[in-house]
């Protein structure tokens, strides 16, 4: 898919990996709607990107909010060709901790945002994409999800996060199969440890120790490297139904 003919929605686009992807898409000539929570920096980020970007506020867990944010996005973009699902939250809680069993609400919240939010955005973007005129390859749309290496090697305290990301990996192929008849591809990126505002809050010593666990290159991933892979996926019609680890060969240890 030619990036210059793309209208893209990036969930979680106000920060970190989503923001870098929105910036890279605009730099490549795409039109972008940053979809993020109302209290996020989405408005400022969209303004910094000029006329090619808008902000549409929504919580990805709400069918109503997401539905109307996508309608607004399509009105401004002209078409919705690419959805990048970057909205996500993390949590740390042991299944049985010092204060007893893990809180079920906390577990459910992470599944709700990361897994159900990703499916919610995909299912509501699909009808917009299905209306597109196919390009020469027959493509109408591309969906890119964000899992994590925690889908495969989750650490102590990551039951909820790993389950949510494992669910994203698990649904990649069936959703790609569901949407194949419409010419919509579905891919997932499983990042290792990336230098986003989330990690920026950690002390330098912890960031350095995280970086040391990465065989090569021995540094945190740059959000621009995630964005570069997302843009490649959009352009490469043969990539479909698969998860790509983007992690410098890290295999997370139990803690
Ligand atoms: N940074 C990393 O090392 C790393 C590694 C693996 C996976 N990931 C995943 O990448 C994605 C982006 O992470 P990041 O590091 O850029 O984090 P981030 O906190 O910088 O950005 C996440 C964005 O998602 C938005 N968001 C959260 N809940 C939302 C909701 N309910 N509705 C709408 N928007 C919501 C936030 O407002 C924020 O702007 C997440 O899914 C995360 O799990 C990150």
DSSP state of 242: -
Ligand 1 neighbours by CB, cut-off 6 Å: 11-12, 14-18, 36-37, 40, 59-61, 86-90, 113-114, 117, 146, 148, 191, 193-194, 196-199
User: How close is the Cα of 135 to the center of ligand 1, in Å?
Assistant: 31
Q: What is the pTM of this model?
A: 0.98
DSSP letter string, 83-141: EEE---------SEETTEEPPHHHHHHHIIIIIIHHHHHHHHHHHHHHTSPP-TT---E
**Ligand 1 atom with the shortest distance to the CA of 194:** 3
Ordered by start, the domain boundaries in the chain are: 3-246
Active site residues: 161
Token digits for 146? Answer: 């964000």
- pLDDT tens for each residue of the chain, 255 residues long: 999 999 999 999 999 999 999 999 999 999 999 999 999 999 999 999 999 999 999 999 999 999 999 999 999 999 999 999 999 999 899 999 999 999 999 999 999 999 999 999 999 999 999 999 999 999 999 999 999 999 999 999 999 999 999 999 999 999 999 999 999 999 999 999 999 987 777 778 777 878 889 999 999 999 999 999 999 999 999 999 999 999 999 999 998
Residue pair 119/171 in contact by the 8 Å Cβ criterion: yes
What is the CATH T-level fold of the domain 3-246, as seen in this structure?
Answer: Rossmann fold (3.40.50)
């Amino acid at each position: 898919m030619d990036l210059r003919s793309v209208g893209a929605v990036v969930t979680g686009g106000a920060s970190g990996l989503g923001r870098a992807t929105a910036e890279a898409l605009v730099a490549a000539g795409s039109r972008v709607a940053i979809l993020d929570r109302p209290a996020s920096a989405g408005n400022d980020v969209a303004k910094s990107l000029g006329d090619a970007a808008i902000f549409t506020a929504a919580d990805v867990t709400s069918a109503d909010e997401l539905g109307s944010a996508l309608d607004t996005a399509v009105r401004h973009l002209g078409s919705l060709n690419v959805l990048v699902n970057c909205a996500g939250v993390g949590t740390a809680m042991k299944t049985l901790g010092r204060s007893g069993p893990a809180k079920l609400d906390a577990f459910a919240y992470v599944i709700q945002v990361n897994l159900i939010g990703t499916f919610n955005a995909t299912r509501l973007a699909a009808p917009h994409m299905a209306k597109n005129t196919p390009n020469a390859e027959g493509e109408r749309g591309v969906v890119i999800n964000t899992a994590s290496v925690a889908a495969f090697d989750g650490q102590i305290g990551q039951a909820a996060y790993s389950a949510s990301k494992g669910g994203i990996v698990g649904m990649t192929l069936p959703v790609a199969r569901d949407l194949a008849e419409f010419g919509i591809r579905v891919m997932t990126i499983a990042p290792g440890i990336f230098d986003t505002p989330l990690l920026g809050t950690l002390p330098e010593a912890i960031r350095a120790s995280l970086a040391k666990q990465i065989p090569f290159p021995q540094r945190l991933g740059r959000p621009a490297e995630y964005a570069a892979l997302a843009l490649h996926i959009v352009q490469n019609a043969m990539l479909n139904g698969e998860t790509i680890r983007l992690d410098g060969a890290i295999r997370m240890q139990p803690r």
